[in-house]
């Protein structure tokens, strides 16, 4: 009876150690996932900022082109 109790305790301890190792691996994987999610958020924000900068630059170019066209027409009487 004592030997079967010891065998059961040994198995329980073995299971406990296995669960500890699995939990340790899960924590490492969760940390890696957290890092990836953080990188994705950072990339998304950078992409949004780049898109906004490109949009503003295109709007500025369009305004500049309109101003240039207006000044060119004003300076050249034959285009009136």
Could you tell me the mean pLDDT of each successive run of 10 residues in the chain, 80 residues long?
A: 89 96 98 97 96 96 91 72
- Please state the domain extents for the chain: 2-75
What pLDDT does 78 receive? 66
What pLDDT does 76 receive? 77
What pLDDT does 27 receive? 98
What pLDDT does 2 receive? 80
Alpha carbons 48 and 44: distance in angstroms, whole number: 6
What pLDDT does 8 receive? 93
Alpha carbons 8 and 2: distance in angstroms, whole number: 10
DSSP string, 24-75: HHHHHHHHHHHHHHHHHHHHHHHHHHHHHHHHHHHHHHHHHHHHHHHHHHHH
């Amino acid at each position: 009876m004592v030997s079967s109790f010891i065998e059961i305790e040994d198995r329980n301890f073995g299971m406990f150690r296995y669960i500890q190792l699995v939990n340790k691996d899960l924590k490492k994987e969760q940390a890696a996932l957290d890092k990836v999610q953080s990188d994705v958020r950072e990339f998304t924000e950078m992409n949004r900022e780049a898109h906004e900068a490109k949009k503003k630059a295109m709007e500025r170019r369009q305004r500049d082109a309109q101003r240039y066209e207006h000044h060119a027409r004003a300076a050249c009487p034959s285009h009136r």
